[in-house]
Amino acid sequence: MTFAVGEFVQGLTRSSAPSSPSRMQAILKASWVRRSSASLEMDILKKCEGLFGCPRLYYSLNPVDNGIPTSNHIFLPTAEEADNAERLSGFHWTSWKKASKKTPSPTPMPQWSSMHVHVHSLAGSSLTLFDDPMSLMAGILHAVLGWLNMLQVGALHRDVKIGNVLALIPPVEMENLFSVNHALLGTKCDEAVEMEAARLENLLVKLGVGRNVSAFISDADSAVEWSDFPGPRSASRSASENFMSAANLISLKRNQPHLHTPMDDLYSFFYVAQWAAVFRPSTDHLPLVKGLRDSVSGLGRSDGTNELKQLTHLNPDLRYGLFLNFLGPVFKDWLNELDTLAVNFGVATRGETDVAKLRLAFFATAYRGVGDLMEVIHKHQDSLRSYQPVVVDLGDTPI
Ligand SMILES: Nc1ncnc2c1ncn2[C@@H]1O[C@H](COP(=O)(O)OP(=O)(O)O)[C@@H](O)[C@H]1O
Ligand SMILES: [Mg+2]
């Protein structure tokens, strides 16, 4: 995928572009999209237009050359050729993996893709650039609310990672406040979901979440319609392993099917927040940060999390920098809530095939998970706000 940021003069974009200001910044993204998921992605992006924590899609197009859409079709077998197993295998070389003689794996189907270009709002930057822990947590919350908006329009993101959660420094004012879609919950809703939704609404007020957004969720190219429950189970997993939930990672390693759920995405937000805190460029020189980064970005991710959970601003270990010491207790509490929620979610859904029950469990869990994060931020907000960067003798950058 590629992208470019540019300034567009109003009028060069289609009519749904905002009427002011007359010059606006937009992101242009070109991506190779599989034939099967192209329309879904566009549909989701359109439904999210103007929603809190989501970018606004201005324009989408398929580049065409001499009337022919830009695609990889000419390099791949045709659909008829792919239908014939023998012919299909003639197109395929197992160049990297030694083919197993006993159980040769079936030749994968060609991935017919075409180029899609989206122009949308919100040029973000890396979450690692927030310079105080409260701003990072507020940004994460805003992006989580964008994710929840996506869920409310029917899509589960499934690719929450550092490149898809982007910071807005300074914050950007959105057209809409976040709101629970009560119409969606409707009459089929049970009390548990309504209770979680009401708690979330209270917490939005308590935390004073307004229209300003300091981070957002981007991309819907791995999203699925959550109501299509067999879909999330069989859809291929493209998400980055660094940010995958443990349940998703385990099933991937064991090659087992996995129903991707809101729980997986909520855990991914936790790992994104952890990554953003640990990879702040201004802490490159600190003695214990390198080892922590190796853990967080490698096989020892849970060791890294445990290391972080030991930190506290009450008795800071400055070899990690003050920022991480302030976030230690926040990560500890947040992960605790996630783990408790995951157990409850497992109890409610394991073996469950009734779509109505799964739907309720998905929403109750999503609202509760977001509410838990807000509760954690609320609990720690005074201490987070008391953070003052200090300069330590290991360099002259405030940490
Ligand atoms: N709206 C945006 N604003 C600023 N940077 C962006 C935006 N979207 C993507 N990027 C940057 O471009 C990189 C590539 O993005 P993308 O093409 O979506 O691929 P991926 O999501 O797989 O990283 C991202 O990792 C991010 O750093
Ligand atoms: Mg992306």
Does 87 reside within a domain?
A: no
C-beta of 217 in contact with ligand 1 (< 6 A)? no
Q: Tell me which residue has its CA closest to atom 19 in ligand 1.
A: 1
In a domain, 105, yes or no: no
Atom of ligand 1 at shortest range from CA of 159 = 21
* Mean pLDDT of the 308-313 span: 96
218 lines ligand 1 (CB under 6 A): yes
Structural domain boundaries enclosing 36: 1-76+111-123
On whether the CB atoms of residues 239 and 267 are closer than 8 A, the answer is no
CB of 29 sitting under 6 A from ligand 1 = yes
Reported confidence tier of residue 104, pLDDT bands at 50, 70, 90: low
pTM for the model: 0.88
The verdict on residue 329 lying in a domain is: yes
Q: In this structure, are residues 371 and 141 in contact, taking their beta carbons and an 8 Å threshold? A: no
Is the omega angle on the peptide bond into residue 170 within 30 degrees of 0, that is, cis?
yes
pLDDT, tens digit, for every residue of 128-146? 999 999 999 999 999 999 9
Q: Are residues 65 and 132 in the same domain?
A: no
The number of distinct structural domains making up the chain is 2
- In this structure, the answer to whether residues 163 and 229 fall within a common structural domain is yes
pLDDT at 10: 46
Residue 51: name the closest of 190, 169, 148, 136 by CA.
148
What value, to the nearest 5°, has the Cα angle with vertex 394 and ends 393 and 398?
80
Q: What is the CATH number of the domain that holds 329?
A: 1.10.510.10
Domain end among 67, 96, 123: 123
> Is there a domain that residue 395 lies in?
no
Q: Report which ligand 1 atom has the smallest distance to the Cα of 2.
A: 17
Question: End-to-end alpha-carbon separation of the chain, Å?
Answer: 33
Exposure letters 87-119 (e unless 16+ CB within 10 A, then b): ebeeeeeeeeeeeeeeeeeebeebebbbbbebb
Residues forming beta bridges with residue 25, ordered by sequence position:
7
Same domain, 233 and 186: yes
Same domain, 296 and 366: yes
Q: Are residues 43 and 166 in the same domain?
A: no
**Residue among 113, 118, 38 at smallest CA distance from 70:** 113
* Residues paired with residue 222 on neighbouring β-strands, in sequence order: none
pLDDT digits (tens, 9 = 90+) for 46-91: 999 889 999 998 888 888 888 888 888 888 888 888 888 888 888 7
Q: Out of 166, 172, 242, 272, give the residue to mutate to test ligand 1, the one with the largest number of ligand atoms within 8 Å of its CB.
A: 166
Q: How far is the CA of 247 from the centre of ligand 2 (A)?
A: 23
